[in-house]
Amino acid sequence: VLTVDQIPWFSSACHSQAWLVGVSGGADSVALLHLLKAAGFLNLTVCHLDHGLRGQAAAGDAEFVKRLADQLGYACEVAQGNVRQRMEERRESLETAARHERHAFFAACALKYGCQQVLLGHHADDQAETVLWNLLRGSHGLRGMQTVQKFTTETGVELEWIRPLLGVCHSDLVRWLETGGHPWREDLSNAEPIAIRNRLRNEVLPQLAEISGRDAVAALGRGARVTEEWLELETWALAQTTVLDPQGRLHLPTLRGLPRALQRRALRRFLEASGIRAADSDLLERGLSLLEVEHPAVINLPGGGKLRRRAARLSVEPG
């Protein structure tokens, strides 16, 4: 059975500091809140957003969360969003609009309570599903959610998402709640995407486990950790290396001496510094082809600019 000391973040964090906690009323976030209480966190503000998608049932959720916060002796902030209106006004998808409403809500809480840290109930199954979905559509290996992630909202508010339960699976949280006799709200509107991710979770992950006789959720979690460490290694290694010349151009002889992962990271950083934020792996591959002198000396950039090789340097020419 799950215990509080199995959650590393709990012992590393300051128990008297102020923290915001996102609580929908569902099992995961309710378990997070009770676990925080059990671990001795004193100064929490429970934050609950009604996305405005479920009418009356949502009012019940908000009531449940308010009562729970009250019972546990924590402050509570409840707000009403309007995802549908935002979808229409800004032509956003349900998923995007819901996410932006949540960000705006947490930004408002952060300003009101003078606290940037937001604790969230994401767990190992969420992580496995995220890792698998990122793997299928991306080119960064097994990227998942991070336990601590700095984030700036659209409106420029700096937040820090903190996910203490990323190593704990959903069924262990439910068992823990049941053992403690803690109720939660079922069938919450999870204004999240949906079909694909749900099918990855409900069909693929159990099937992987059944076929392999291994814990697929744990394997994907390990994969996400090792990938995070590799990205950290890239950052570190790039900081050890001077790849720009005094004029701020990419120095090709230096770049050629680096391993491929670092070449790619250096080029991405260089393009970002030149205002090219959309450097996908295709663009990076084309950009790195400039390292070879037998290749053409210029490639086109999104936005009309060019990346040009001249005098053993790469530089960006604006469009």
| Rg (the chain; Cα; Å) | 23
Query: CB of 7 within 8 A of CB of 168?
Result: yes
- Binding to a second copy (CB under 8 A) within 144-183 occurs at none
Task: Tell me which residue has tokens 């009101």.
Answer: 112
| 69 alpha-carbon distance from chain centroid | 26
SS3 250: strand
225: CB partners within 8 A, 6+ apart: none
Please state the length of the chain.
319
CB of 136 to a second copy, least distance (A): 4
216, 243, 266, 279: residue in contact with a second copy (rule CB under 8 A): 216
Q: Which residue in the set 67, 90, 112, 214 belongs to the binding site for a second copy (CB under 8 A)? A: 214
Q: How many residues contact a second copy, by CB under 8 A?
A: 44
According to the binding rule CB under 8 A, does residue 133 interact with a second copy? yes
Tell me the window of 2-10, 40-48, 203-211, 243-251 that interacts with a second copy (CB under 8 A).
203-211
Block residue for tokens 């005098």: 311
Q: Which of 4, 42, 237, 291 binds a second copy (CB under 8 A)?
A: 237
Stretch that binds a second copy, among 76-84, 110-118, 164-172, 192-200 (CB under 8 A): 192-200
SS3 109: helix
* Contact window for a second copy (CB under 8 A) among 52-60, 150-158, 173-181, 252-260: 252-260
Give the whole-angstrom CA distance, residue 49 versus residue 306. Answer: 45
Q: Which of 75, 96, 141, 286 binds a second copy (CB under 8 A)?
A: 141
Instruction: Tell me: does residue 135 bind a second copy (CB under 8 A).
Output: yes
* Beta strands at 306-310 and 313-317: parallel, antiparallel or unpaired: antiparallel
As measured in angstroms, the least distance from the Cβ of 163 to a second copy is: 19
Closest approach, Cβ 289 to a second copy, in A, equals: 13
Structural tokens at position 258: 């680096």
Residues 6+ apart with CB under 8 A from 270: 243, 244, 250, 314, 316
Other C-beta atoms within 10 Å of 109: how many? 22
Contact with a second copy (CB under 8 A): which of 21, 87, 227, 243? 227
DSSP state for residue 63 in the 8-state scheme: H
Is there binding between residue 196 and a second copy (CB under 8 A)?
yes
Site string for a second copy, 270-289 (x = CB under 8 A): -----------x--------
Pairing verdict, β 250-251 and 306-310? unpaired
Binding to a second copy by residue 219, rule CB under 8 A? yes
Q: Report residue 33 as tokens.
A: 């809140």
**Interaction between residue 295 and a second copy (CB under 8 A):** no
Q: Residue numbers of the site for a second copy (CB under 8 A)?
A: 132-133, 135-142, 196, 199-200, 203-204, 207-208, 211-214, 216, 219-220, 222-223, 226-227, 229-230, 232-237, 240, 258-262, 264, 281
